[in-house]
Amino acid sequence: MLRDRIKYVDKLIVFPYLALTLFSIAMVYSASSYSALHDYGNPHHYLPRQVVFVLLSYGVFLTGLFVPIKLLKKKRMVQLGMVLTVISLIFVLFFGREINGARGWIETPFFNIQPAELAKVMVIWYLAYILSKKQQKIAEGYFKALVAPVILVGFMVLIIYIQPDTGTSFMIVLLTTIIIFSSGVSPKLGVWTGLSGVGLIAGMSQLIRHFGTRLFFLNEYRYNRFLGFWDPFALAEGAGMQLVHSYYALSRGGLFGVGFGNSVQKIGYLPFPYTDFIISIVGEEFGLLGIFLLLSAFGLLVSRMFLTSIRSNKPFDSILCVGMASLFLMQSLINIGGVIGLMPITGVTFPFISYGGTSLIVSSGALGLVANVSVRVNYEKDKKKL
């Protein structure tokens, strides 16, 4: 069985994943060295932690690769996963550790657990299970079949938004939309919903411009993110500081970068250079070429995930893969959009590169499940040749 898994797993999923995670160790060390020296008196503070996170993520990836997919299709397993996720989200809302104004972490002796990261993958698993069971009902009555799942996911989004974690709540809404429309609904409905979404975002942007914190859902912290996005240089000492220094880092890096470890912006100028803005440090140290190679490896990984979804002939497997691929694609686009000023900064990290135990471990487990599906897809493809 082990031999078959190694033989049939999609190597173009595995190799980019290994390259990205190994690169993350080097980049987290470089990007965090000054912050670690300033905060802990030790420039190597984050290095062993990231090494441990990467090693743990490999174990979780292998677990996802070898777990029987049929186990994920069991109703009780899905229910248990959803119940535990909702409980952890409610728990963290009242008893979680507060970091940077958000109460979203469960503190442990080893590292902080962020339930919102788990919620993203759990929503994909839950929707893949529900939608694969309701294929016929969706064809007969779209809204009736999806009312209950959407209400449950909406409840989870609300809890995450209250923490507050705008980036994750926004991402789950987008994920849910993508998964639903990839499960067989009318293309015309999908187009109209997409256009409505664009109109809603444009309208919300104008409302925020004119009314600011007078809107019930917008506190000062979130409003400052928008102000920093609209005119970062006018607010370079405040709300626009992160984006301005991100620009400086990318500009200084040029085509080939200033060399590994030689970033200036990480030395007290760019906040959170090893998490939200690690791509800015990659750009400064390795230049446009370095970012291109990084995004090429990541793009290959995500494209193979989508390809696995397309090749799978089982609804659950296909929806699961398209959900995981969409998660990584959206997370990377939102992170880069914030780094280069195409959208407000949301605090969303770059998959497999940014520092963070929960994100890396959960993402690795999700990728392991897609690699698991690729084994069956490639095995069946090989059988047809015989």
**The one-letter amino acid at 229:** F
User: What pLDDT is recorded for position 38?
Assistant: 84
Q: Please report, to the nearest 10 degrees, the dihedral formed by the alpha carbons of residues 190, 205, 176, 182 taken in order.
A: 30
Q: At what angle do helices 278-311 and 11-40 cross, to 10 degrees?
A: 160
Question: For residues 261 and 237, what is the distance between their CA atoms, to the nearest angstrom?
Answer: 25
At 249 the pLDDT is 92
pTM of the model: 0.89
Contacts of 248 (CB under 8 A, 6+ apart): 265, 269
Residue closest to 366 by CA, chosen among 377, 347, 351, 345: 351
Rounded to 5°, the CA angle 199-204-207 comes to: 130
User: Given this model, what pLDDT does residue 374 score?
Assistant: 94
Q: Between 315-339 and 166-181, two packed helices, what is the crossing angle to 10 degrees?
A: 140
- Name residue 222's amino acid: R
Domains of the chain, residue spans = 2-385
What's the pLDDT at 101?
A: 59
In this prediction, residue 138 carries a pLDDT of: 60
3-state secondary structure 185-211: CCHHHHHHHHHHHHHHHHHHHHHHHHH
Nearest to 286 by CA among 252, 256, 322: 256
What averages of pLDDT result for each successive group of 10 residues across the chain (386 residues)? Answer: 80 96 96 90 92 95 93 92 91 75 69 84 92 67 71 86 79 86 67 63 68 66 69 73 88 92 89 90 95 96 95 91 94 92 83 91 95 90 71
Separation of alpha carbons 216 and 204, rounded Å: 13
